[in-house]
Structure 1
Amino acid sequence: MSQVNRLLVIVAASAATVGSSAAVPAVALARAAPAAPRTLAPPPVRDEDRSGGDHLTVTVRHAGGAADGTRELYCHPGGGTHPDVTGACAAVGRNTQWGKDPFAPVPPDSLCTMIYGGPATAHVTGTWAGRPVDATYDRSNGCEISRWNGMVPLLPDLGARR
C-alpha cells in the first residue's frame, strides 16, 4: 500500500470515528490527486470583450453644423468615431450609479421651467454596463435641457442656444 493510500485510509477511519466523514476525506482526496498543470495564457478575446460591452451609437439632429450626425463610441477601452471619446465615456460614467439608469428619461411628474433650448434631438442606442440603451434627448424644457447638459460631451455642448 502506498503512503498516499495509507493516509487516505487513516484519515477516512479517523473521520468516521469523529463524525465528520464528509469534510476530511475531501481534503485527503485533494492531497492525493496530482496537481493540475497551471497555465498563464489569457482567455480568448471576443469582440464584445474588447469594448467591455460599452458601445453606444449617438445620432444628433437639428443641432447645426458639425454637431449633427451619427457617431460610434466604445469605452473600456475607448475608441470609435466620437470626437471626444475620453470625455464622452467620462460623462456617461459620472452619471452611472448603482440602481440608477444613466439614460432614464425625465420623470413625468417633474416640474420643469418652460425654457426652449432649440430643436436639437439625440438618439442614443447600444449597451452600457451590460444593459441595453435606447434613449432619446431633446431640449424642449428646462428639465430636458438639464438632462442633455448632464451628458455633454457624449451629446454636443449647445450652451445657451435657443
Structure 2
Amino acid sequence: MLRRLTLTAVASLAALSAAVPTATAVSPLVPLPPLPFLQGDWPTARDTGTRLTVTVSESGNPTADGAFELECDPAGGSHPSAQRACDLLDEAAASGDNPFVATDRNAMCTQQMGGPATARVQGTWRGENVDARFSRANGCEISRWNSLVPVLPTAR
C-alpha cells in the first residue's frame, strides 16, 4: 500500500512538472486594465518641491541662530530671507550643482578656523532628500558655507 502511494505521488509530481512549463509558455502575461479607484489627482511618488529646515547655532549673530523653515515655489516659511534663499537654490539647480554635497574627504583644505558656527539642513530640495551638515572648521567648509548664503546666515 505504501509503495502504491509513493508511486502515485512521484507520477503526479512528474506530470505536474512537465505541465507547468507548457502552461506558462502557452499563456502569455496579460496586463491588467487600470483600476478606477487608482485614477485621479493622486500625489506623485516624487514631489519636486523644496521644504527645508535650517538649524543654525553659534553663528555669532543671535537673530540668525535657531531653526527656520524654508519653502520654495512660492517662497515662504519662517526663514528670514526666504525669497533670496529660494533664488539661490534655483540658480544652483539650473547650473546642475547640488549645494548640499559634502566636501570630498580627499580635498586639500586650508587649515583655518572660521568660527564655531554649525548648521544642519534637512528636508527635500527639488524632490530629493537632504540631510547636510555645515561648519566653518577649515577653508573648504568655510567656502561651502559661504556659497550657501542666504540659505545659511552670514557668520561672524
Q: CA deviation at 1:45?
A: 9.6
- Say which structure, 1 or 2, has more relative contact order (CA 8 Å, 6+ apart): 2
- Answering whether residue 77 of structure 2 is matched by residue 80 of structure 1, we say yes
Equivalent pairs: percent with the same residue?
47
3-state DSSP class of the match of 1:79? coil
The one-letter code sitting in structure 2 at the alignment partner of 1:146 is: S
1:97-140 deviations in whole A, cap 9, x for unaligned? 43x43200011111111110000000000101110000000000
State how far apart, in whole Å, the 2-side matches of 1:93 and 1:142 are. 25
Letter in 2 for 1:125: Q
Segments of 5+ residues of structure 2 without an aligned counterpart are 1-39
1:68–1:107 CA distance, 2 compared to 1 (3 A): same
Which residue is equivalent to 1:127? Answer: 124
Q: Which residue of 2 aligns with 1:139?
A: 136
Structure 2 partner of 1:153: 150
Q: Report what 1:60 is aligned to.
A: 56
CA RMSD of aligned residues (A): 2.3
Q: Distance in 1 between matches of 2:141 and 2:99?
A: 14
SS at match of 2:56: strand
TM-score normalised by structure 2 residue count: 0.66
* 1:71 pairs with one of 57, 68, 72: 68
> 1:89 aligned to 2:86?
yes
* Aligned residues between the structures: 114
CA distance in 2, matches of 1:129, 1:144: 23
Q: Which amino acid aligns with 1:110?
A: A
Q: Secondary structure at the match of 1:95?
A: helix
Structure 2: distance between partners of 1:101 and 1:150: 11
